[in-house]
């Protein structure tokens, strides 16, 4: 599954080798992708939250519509210890300012802050991207004016950990409702492994005979919105190094996709779109179509 991370483009966070115990710590990260504008031109802002033994880390990268990297800042944990500051980046002939304040931030089990923080990207005294619940503090600190284009949350990639059940929260469209997502799969000492996925405790997908259907896809409904679910649990079942399973939830763009996948849960003949994933994903987030959530599920030893 080393080609699956390409869905986040060449500038995405690289996946560490799962054979190393140290890489397990490094993989505790969340990457979020937003579509915004700079000088009236479309751009993509990638925000990565990380956590390891050294502490919290943050990375912000900005690409233009041609996937040309404009600028990037990588705040290592030892540089991020004060949890409050700013940095000016050069982007072609202009400058982009990034402000952050996590001094009162609250975190869950992952590296992404839940509340009590802000992260602001400012260009020409205009707010390009603002994350967090301390918006008043952010505007007071940056003296920026509101954005002319409201940023769109288009993709998220997250590493989750567990033994049998894996939990996360997700919204399947920009500014959509937050949902509890749970993935349950027991492969140790089980004669017939199966896979179950629940949204807000409601069963939306169950795959039996998982040994034969370790890769597949199916379309579910979330808030009336069709969402395609792809899974690959080959590593859980057959890998000696116990790598991660990979799941992708992608908002459907047409009713045809809903009906083509809704009638049957038999995915033995489904052709997985791994090879075309990179191009279709990039097209979707540049055009603002749909939303993609990619989960790497790691079994705790």
Q: Kindly state whether residue 224 falls inside one of the protein's structural domains.
A: yes
> Based on the domain organization, do 294 and 171 belong to the same domain?
yes
Phi, psi of 283, deg, nearest 5: -60, -40
Q: What is the pLDDT along the chain (301 residues), one digit of tens a residue?
A: 333 333 433 333 222 333 333 344 436 889 999 999 887 788 899 999 988 777 788 899 988 766 666 678 777 655 556 688 888 887 666 789 999 998 888 988 788 999 999 999 999 899 999 999 999 999 999 999 998 888 988 899 999 998 889 999 888 877 778 899 999 998 777 788 899 999 999 999 999 988 899 999 999 988 888 899 999 999 988 887 778 899 999 986 543 443 344 433 443 333 334 333 344 444 444 444 578 899 999 988 6
- Total domains in the chain come to 2
Q: Kindly state whether residue 190 falls inside one of the protein's structural domains.
A: yes
> Based on the domain organization, do 232 and 190 belong to the same domain?
yes
Q: Kindly state whether residue 275 falls inside one of the protein's structural domains.
A: yes
| Widest pairwise Cα distance in the chain | 62
Alpha helices in 161-248 (DSSP H): 234-238
Phi, psi of 43, deg, nearest 5: -145, 160
Task: Judge whether 83 and 56 are in contact, CB under 8 Å.
Answer: yes
CA 286 to chain centre: 16
Identify the domain boundary among 117, 148, 179: 148
The structure's pTM equals: 0.77
* DSSP 3-state of 8: helix
> Based on the domain organization, do 254 and 176 belong to the same domain?
yes
The token pair that represents 74 in the structure block? 């990588």
Q: Kindly state whether residue 36 falls inside one of the protein's structural domains.
A: no
Q: Kindly state whether residue 34 falls inside one of the protein's structural domains.
A: no
> Based on the domain organization, do 262 and 165 belong to the same domain?
yes
> Based on the domain organization, do 137 and 166 belong to the same domain?
no
User: What whole-number distance in Å separates Cα of residue 37 and Cα of residue 128?
Assistant: 7
Query: Which residue segment(s) compose the domain that 60 sits in?
Result: 41-148
Q: Kindly state whether residue 131 falls inside one of the protein's structural domains.
A: yes
Identify the domain boundary among 112, 132, 148: 148
User: What whole-number distance in Å separates Cα of residue 200 and Cα of residue 169?
Assistant: 9
Q: What is the pLDDT of residue 296?
A: 93
Q: Kindly state whether residue 18 falls inside one of the protein's structural domains.
A: no
The residue whose two tokens read 């080609």 is 3
Closest CA to 137 of 72, 84, 75, 73: 84
> Based on the domain organization, do 143 and 243 belong to the same domain?
no
> Based on the domain organization, do 136 and 165 belong to the same domain?
no
> Based on the domain organization, do 56 and 164 belong to the same domain?
no
Q: Kindly state whether residue 129 falls inside one of the protein's structural domains.
A: yes
Identify the domain boundary among 148, 163, 182: 148
> Based on the domain organization, do 45 and 114 belong to the same domain?
yes
Q: What is the pLDDT of residue 287?
A: 47
């Amino acid at each position: 599954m080393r080609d699956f991370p390409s869905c986040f483009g060449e500038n995405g966070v690289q996946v560490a080798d799962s054979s190393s115990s140290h890489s397990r710590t490094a993989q505790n990260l969340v990457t979020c992708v937003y579509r915004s504008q700079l000088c009236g031109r479309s751009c993509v802002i990638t925000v990565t939250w990380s956590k390891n033994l050294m502490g919290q880390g943050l990375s912000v990268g900005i690409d233009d519509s041609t996937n040309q990297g404009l600028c990037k800042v990588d705040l290592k944990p030892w540089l991020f210890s004060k949890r409050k500051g700013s940095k000016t980046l050069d982007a072609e002939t202009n400058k982009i300012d990034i402000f952050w304040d996590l001094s009162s931030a609250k975190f869950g089990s992952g590296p992404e802050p839940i509340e009590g923080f802000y992260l602001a990207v400012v260009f020409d005294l205009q707010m390009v991207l603002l994350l967090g619940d301390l918006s008043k503090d952010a505007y007071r600190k940056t003296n920026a004016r509101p954005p002319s284009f409201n940023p769109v949350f288009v993709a998220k990639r997250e590493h989750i950990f567990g033994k049998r059940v894996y939990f996360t929260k997700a919204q399947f469209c920009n500014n959509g409702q937050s949902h509890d997502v749970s993935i349950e799969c027991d492969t140790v000492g089980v004669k017939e492994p199966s896979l179950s996925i629940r949204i807000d405790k409601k069963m939306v997908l169950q795959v039996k005979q998982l040994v034969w259907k370790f890769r597949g896809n199916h379309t579910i409904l979330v808030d009336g919105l069709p969402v395609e679910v792809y899974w690959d649990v080959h590593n859980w079942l057959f890998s000696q190094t116990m790598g991660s399973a990979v799941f992708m939830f992608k908002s459907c763009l047409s009713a045809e996709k809903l009906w083509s996948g809704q009638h049957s849960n038999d995915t033995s003949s489904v052709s997985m779109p791994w090879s075309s994933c990179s191009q279709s994903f990039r097209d979707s987030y540049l055009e603002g179509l749909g939303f993609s959530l990619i989960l790497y599920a790691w079994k705790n030893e």
